[in-house]
Structure 1
Amino acid sequence: MSTRTAEEIRADRTAALGRALTALLAVTAYALAWIVKRSWRRLLPFYWVAAELALAWVSGPLGLSWQTVGIVALAIAATAAGWRARSRTVRAWRAAIAVVLGGYAVATVAAGGPAALAAHPTLTIAVPALLAVVLGWPWWHHLRHLTPPAPAPAPVMTAEPTAVVDPLTAHWQRRWEREVLAAKVCEGTTLIEATEPRPGVTEALVRLTPGTKPGPLFKSGPDVEVALDLNEGAIGWRSTGKRAWLRVVLVERSYIVDGVPWTGPTYAGGRFEMARFADGSPGQWILSRPRYGVLGGLVVGSTGAGKSRALGALIANALDGGVQVAVGDPQNGQSLPAWRDAVDYHPGIEKTALLVRRVHAEIMRRSELLANAGVEAFDENDPRVKALGLSPLIAIVDECQLVLIPNTPIVALAEQAGETMRKTGVGLVFATQLPQMKSLGGSVRLRDALVAGNALILRLSNRGSGTTILPDDFVGDPFALQPEIDGKTTAGMGYLRHSNRVGMLCRVPHLDETAAAAAAPRVPVRWNVPEIDPASPIVLPGHRSPATAAKTGATTGGGSAVDKLRAAFGAGRKSTTTVGEQAPATPAEWVLACLRRGPASAQALLDRPDCPVEQSQLYALLGRLKDAGRITPPAQRGGPFTIAG
């Protein structure tokens, strides 16, 4: 049993008392802090009374005169007036309280300070308290009226709230569900919102459910037109940048049915209005992009479809933008006669072929100059490009099918020019009446290089035989357009491939080519290469000339499949590839070599002039390559094959 001394017991009691006092002080401090936090606004006038009394009490021990107290009171009043508040009224009353009680503190100190307070404590404390009550009444009244009422509790919702839908959106939601979706068209979509940018035109926002792909929707325009009883080409699709959302434009009142007037060039920033869509919006042709280069294009249209009018609009806008223009007319001036004196004109088949050769040489020369100057892509505003004296150049070849004959070297020359023109500031635009690949010499590579820039497809009368010239992702049916509808001509109507109105009809302005050519500025073409000698052979860079090939004993190619393969891939005089490329030894290697250049459909492979097999053999070969996992079949019938993996 342990015993404790009296000192230990007293020490324990003292420690316990200290802990109790500490806890009491902490609780008191917390309570005071809570009271001040909850009531400092309403008790603010009395806080000023406490400050005034404290100032009067400490003036004696500190030896403060009434003048010093007056200066302190003025500083406090200025602080009260400038302190941030919810309104000017709060600042004014706060300053008034500080001035009155500060003046009372000055009077108290002048009367004796602590001695006066000790002699008349009740009177001295009652007077400032009364002043606080009088001065605090407007303050409390102000606080009561400015304090916002407590928000009412939100009502309990027993069901989802019904969204407010405007009448236009509700109208098109009903039509979309009852007429489009009910007809099994655009399944997996929901119309969310509809607006009317102009009379007779509705732009709707469509939501796609998971698993719905935008590609088939872009091609469903004719079915939507039938379901909603709209005119041909009245539906256009727009991407929103999100896979789950699309915009569809519905045209009930066409703005192009009576034609589109020509109002002059609209060239600005490398692009211009080439056509007007059915909803009244402009359809642009992109001639160039900053720090990207100059783009070419393809224009296709039957006789009387407005092809010459479209080329005239292209030339007029290019000249207005200071772009150099060279025109090749294989029909000896019958295609674009109005522009003979306005551009660098080359009439006849031979002169047009020489123009293509010169453009190719110009592209190669510009590529060398720009590479030496450290320029990656042509930009006419680049100081380095200006120092070289280079400006954009557009070469337009009308009726190109008369020049691009299959199995001729000019086709390979055009291929190489089309694939390398963009970065050099040169653009090739080919135009034709015939919608077959033979119009481009059977070259899918040339077609792809052209439509990567721009493509205007006007009315076409006959699909013809062979592979169509239209790109695989083209949306629209130019073959369904008739020369006249209800007695009105459809000349100039067609489709722009790269646009924000996919599948919607557009129309080229009705251009008076003679007047437009007379009003267009003259922009001389500054060539960096001399004219081409007609007697000189066509030799691609990195290839051997025919004379050199003859000296080395190269084969000229025969009629067998092996001869065709050699001629197509560099072993004979029909070479269109770079030196060192091995000729495929089998038809399977030929197919793989073609697909390595780019996706191609079975019909596109069959239409190549160097195809070594017949139709049935090609389809069997494609089936074997697909089963072996070497190629990937198309997503839909007739689509392009690609190299697997």
Structure 2
Amino acid sequence: MTPELQQHIERTAASFAEATMQAMAALPEDASVDQTVRGAADDATNAAQPRNRAQRRAAQRSERKLLAELERRNRKQLMPHYIAAGLLGLAQVVHSLAIQAQAAGVAAVVTGLACATAGAVGHVWLRRREHALAEWTLWSALLTTATSLWMVIAVTAGVTWGSLALALAGDYAFGARWWAANRHPEAVEPAPETELAPVEVDESMLALYPRRWAEYLGGSGCVLAGSQLVSGEPFEHGIEYVLRLRPGKHDLDMVRSNMSKIASGLGHPETKLTVDPVEENPALARFRVVTASPVAGDVYFHGPQFVDGRIVLGPYIDGLGDAVWRLYTDNSIWGGLIVGGTGSGKSRLIDVIALTALYTACTYVIHVDGQDGMSCPQLWEHAQERYGADDAEYALRRLIAMQQYRQRNRRGGGHGFNPSPDYPGILVIVDEAHVVVTKDNADKWAKLAREARKVGIAVIMADQDGSLETFKKSVLRGSLRAGNAVGLRTDERSQGQILSHGQFNLHDLPAIPGYGHTLGETARHAPFKNRWVPTREDAAKGASKGKSFPKELLLVEDWYEQATKIDLDHGTRAAGDRARRDSIATPTAPAAASAAGTTAVTGHGGATPQPTRMVLPTVPKPRGTDGAAAPNSAPVAPVAAASTPSPGPELSDSEQRVLAAVRAGYAQPGAIAEHVGLTRQRVGALLGALAGKELVTKTGSGPAVRYEATTTAA
């Protein structure tokens, strides 16, 4: 610093001090007195007393403690400023000593070389210990070069306004990437259903899990030998660490597949551990130990949540966001794959997706169930169309006809699909996919799942087994996973290998209903808890055990009954109806033989007439539509009846029993089920089949539902 600059600074400081003293002298004499109102007694006396020395010291200690806490929380963000200030001080000290020794040039060169050497050695040291990523090499080299050159200039000429400006510019230029990589964590709002006490984490807890990891998991001969758990920081629901994996030996799939062993080693429940990748380096991961999970209990469904085309499924177990199902994006509707064993919560998940899709008011839901409505009975009851195991082939032909129509008749001639109430998206939910998908139709389903999304048709398939055998080793599973994929716990390990490229297996998930993973390419691979929509049966069971649900909670039957069922556009519906008429108008071989008057030969050589079972779809006429009815098929010779008239040769034994019960005056599914000795779900499926054949009519819904035989059936 030159003598002239130093004199200028001193004169400026003196004039500022003089102006400050004049301003203080102009203030009233009581300006420095504490004017805080201390109550009615102080107001009456109107004599505000100044604080004593002890109070002032206590206030100063509180202020210093607050400043120290602020500095601790922002230490990483302030690090570039600390380094810049240290370099400024070092340069001024070296310059002063060099001027006294009359060796400024030599000192500048030595200081520059020392800075370059220190930067190179520091970078190598950090890289070997994996404190610095490979992507930071260029940044480190530029920083070391700039620092060395600046030190040469500053030591030679001293800290001038020019060198100070260069230091500040370098501070912010090189600090920008540092701040981008060391941001403050974003605040996460807790789930509205759960109120948790603040998590208190002390230093002993921060060190507990790294110590256990080193002893039981990362030590020699352990499951993740060579890995380390470091850099613990509290977050809203627990502690977040950096997990350093051994390059070439470990990967994230290996960590996920060994979560049960990790839980044992850390002494912490598996349902409260999460791991996420670090994009910059596959050998690093973010490992979280949840000490106060927002999903420790049941997470209830309080209403459809549909945000930016995504269905909100439920919160992640660490409270950092919600798992979502992508339904609509620009120009597309998306299906997906759901895998889960018995009791895993697969039906709960399907109900949440179907309900939310219905409440979008621009989605037409079709249910195809390989168990004739027993998998998701409420969805079976309230979907706009439903198909059982015998009608799966017809459903596929109908969907292909709809796809072909929309491909030939695009709305506005534009690219892709955007839903609206008069041109809705079609969401096809296929449950028990192993029954529906066969070797003959697997490629057709795959083509539909892959191509129909651009014309507004999406397919969701759910099954207990996620292996390729379920999908007949076709590309169907991959086509479904391209949209969404959710994995719940499977009953057997062979059923849970849904990720063909890794070791993660769904069988390793805890046996908790609704506990699962979102497995899409862009999804967060962390466990979540699906929201639960209880049924009236669940409410009755809970009441019998003294455990009632919240009063404001609506049950799944209520949500389905209140949902608005929209209609298909006329062209798409007509295309599907034509496929229906074509499939019915073509009689099967036994039916044709019966119509021609042929007979079947028994094993004893006698010829006896055989009743023909006409194959009719169990799908009812789409609700709210005026779809064309099926034309009459070829006449069938009547079969001699016993004392009780038969409803017709096209009905199965179970359908005949249910229809006879309806004729006898049993109008509700529960009473019919008790009368015929079948389950209520099975009776509901049979009533739906009879309604599709226009043999019974339905009035009301829920507890007020009633069925009556039509005049045709009578």
Question: What's the TM-score once normalised by structure 1's chain length?
Answer: 0.51
Give 1:430 deviation, angstroms. 0.9
Letter of the structure 2 residue corresponding to residue 530 of structure 1? G
1:288 to 318, 327, 330: 327
Q: Indicate the residue corresponding to 1:54 in structure 2.
A: none
Question: Does 2:383 correspond to 1:343?
Answer: yes
Q: Indicate the residue corresponding to 1:412 in structure 2.
A: 443
Letter of the structure 1 residue corresponding to residue 565 of structure 2? R
Deviations, residues 120-154 of structure 1 (Å, cap 9, x unaligned)? xxxxxxxxxxxxxxxxxxxxxxxxxxxx9x98769
Q: Indicate the residue corresponding to 1:517 in structure 2.
A: 560
Contact 1:305/1:458 (8 A) holds in 2: yes
2:459 to 428, 435, 447: 428
2:217 to 180, 187, 209: 180
Give 1:274 deviation, angstroms. 1.7
- Label 1:185 to 1:455 Cα distance change in 2 as closer, same or farther (>3 A): same
- Label 1:403 to 1:36 Cα distance change in 2 as closer, same or farther (>3 A): closer
Q: 1:159-558 to 2 correspondence within 5 Å?
A: 167=203, 169-182=206-219, 184-199=222-237, 201-208=238-245, 210-211=247-248, 213-243=251-281, 244-252=283-291, 255-256=294-295, 258-281=297-320, 283-288=322-327, 290-291=329-330, 293-322=332-361, 323-340=363-380, 342-370=382-410, 373-375=413-415, 377-380=416-419, 390-406=423-439, 408=440, 410-440=441-471, 442-462=472-492, 470-473=498-501, 476-479=504-507, 490-498=512-520, 502=525, 504=527, 506-512=529-535, 513-526=556-569, 528=572, 529-534=575-580, 536=582
Contact 2:497/2:505 (8 A) holds in 1: no
Contact 1:363/1:424 (8 A) holds in 2: yes
- Label 1:198 to 1:500 Cα distance change in 2 as closer, same or farther (>3 A): farther
Give 1:221 deviation, angstroms. 2.4
Q: Give, in whole Å, the separation in 2 of the partners of 1:88 and 1:449.
A: 79
Local SS of the residue matching 2:298? coil
Q: Give, in whole Å, the separation in 1 of the partners of 2:518 and 2:16.
A: 60
Contact 1:271/1:288 (8 A) holds in 2: yes
Contact 1:277/1:283 (8 A) holds in 2: yes
Give 1:530 deviation, angstroms. 3.0
Q: Indicate the residue corresponding to 1:615 in structure 2.
A: none
Give 1:456 deviation, angstroms. 2.3
Local SS of the residue matching 1:530? helix
Deviations, residues 81-130 of structure 1 (Å, cap 9, x unaligned)? xxxx989959x99xxxxxxxxxxxxxxxxxxxxxxxxxxxxxxxxxxxxx
Give 1:271 deviation, angstroms. 1.4
Give 1:287 deviation, angstroms. 2.4
Identity %: 21
Letter of the structure 2 residue corresponding to residue 310 of structure 1? L
Query: RMSD of aligned C-alpha atoms?
Result: 4.5
Deviations, residues 501-523 of structure 1 (Å, cap 9, x unaligned)? 53636444243321221233333
Q: Give, in whole Å, the separation in 2 of the partners of 1:530 and 1:396.
A: 17
Unaligned runs of 5+ in 1: 1-33, 45-84, 94-147, 381-385, 484-489, 539-645
Q: Give, in whole Å, the separation in 1 of the partners of 2:224 and 2:331.
A: 37
Q: 1:13-32 to 2 correspondence within 5 Å?
A: none
Q: Give, in whole Å, the separation in 1 of the partners of 2:277 and 2:341.
A: 30
Contact 1:398/1:430 (8 A) holds in 2: yes
Q: Give, in whole Å, the separation in 2 of the partners of 1:476 and 1:332.
A: 32
Letter of the structure 1 residue corresponding to residue 513 of structure 2? A
Deviations, residues 237-269 of structure 1 (Å, cap 9, x unaligned)? 212321253212223555545432222211111
Q: Give, in whole Å, the separation in 1 of the partners of 2:260 and 2:387.
A: 41
Q: Give, in whole Å, the separation in 2 of the partners of 1:337 and 1:43.
A: 88
Local SS of the residue matching 1:395? strand
Deviations, residues 28-71 of structure 1 (Å, cap 9, x unaligned)? xxxxxx88666567789xxxxxxxxxxxxxxxxxxxxxxxxxxx
Letter of the structure 2 residue corresponding to residue 521 of structure 1? T
Local SS of the residue matching 1:439? helix
- Label 1:41 to 1:494 Cα distance change in 2 as closer, same or farther (>3 A): closer
Letter of the structure 1 residue corresponding to residue 219 of structure 2? A
Q: Indicate the residue corresponding to 2:69 in structure 1.
A: none
Contact 1:404/1:411 (8 A) holds in 2: yes
Give 1:281 deviation, angstroms. 4.8
Give 1:470 deviation, angstroms. 2.2
Q: Give, in whole Å, the separation in 2 of the partners of 1:42 and 1:252.
A: 57
Q: 1:89-128 to 2 correspondence within 5 Å?
A: 89=19
Give 1:451 deviation, angstroms. 1.6
Q: Give, in whole Å, the separation in 1 of the partners of 2:331 and 2:280.
A: 25
Which stretch shifts more, 472-481 or 177-186?
472-481
Local SS of the residue matching 1:216? helix
Contact 2:257/2:505 (8 A) holds in 1: no
Deviations, residues 365-423 of structure 1 (Å, cap 9, x unaligned)? 43444598241x4445xxxxx6x9644321111122222122x2x22210111121333
Local SS of the residue matching 2:231? strand
Letter of the structure 2 residue corresponding to residue 230 of structure 1? H
Contact 1:276/1:509 (8 A) holds in 2: no
Q: Give, in whole Å, the separation in 1 of the partners of 2:268 and 2:6.
A: 69
Q: Give, in whole Å, the separation in 1 of the partners of 2:448 and 2:258.
A: 36
Give 1:311 deviation, angstroms. 0.9
Give 1:535 deviation, angstroms. 7.3
Q: Give, in whole Å, the separation in 2 of the partners of 1:203 and 1:368.
A: 53
Which stretch shifts more, 220-229 or 395-404?
220-229
- Label 1:35 to 1:261 Cα distance change in 2 as closer, same or farther (>3 A): closer
Give 1:455 deviation, angstroms. 2.0
Q: Give, in whole Å, the separation in 1 of the partners of 2:8 and 2:518.
A: 72
Q: Give, in whole Å, the separation in 1 of the partners of 2:452 and 2:231.
A: 43
Letter of the structure 1 residue corresponding to residue 329 of structure 2? P
- Label 1:451 to 1:374 Cα distance change in 2 as closer, same or farther (>3 A): same
Q: Give, in whole Å, the separation in 2 of the partners of 1:430 and 1:398.
A: 6
Q: Give, in whole Å, the separation in 2 of the partners of 1:301 and 1:37.
A: 77
Deviations, residues 519-549 of structure 1 (Å, cap 9, x unaligned)? 33333333623325357589xxxxxxxxxxx
Local SS of the residue matching 2:287? strand
Which stretch shifts more, 189-198 or 35-44?
35-44
- Label 1:316 to 1:389 Cα distance change in 2 as closer, same or farther (>3 A): closer
Letter of the structure 1 residue corresponding to residue 406 of structure 2? R
- Label 1:310 to 1:37 Cα distance change in 2 as closer, same or farther (>3 A): closer
- Label 1:193 to 1:468 Cα distance change in 2 as closer, same or farther (>3 A): closer
Contact 1:346/1:352 (8 A) holds in 2: no
Local SS of the residue matching 2:527? coil
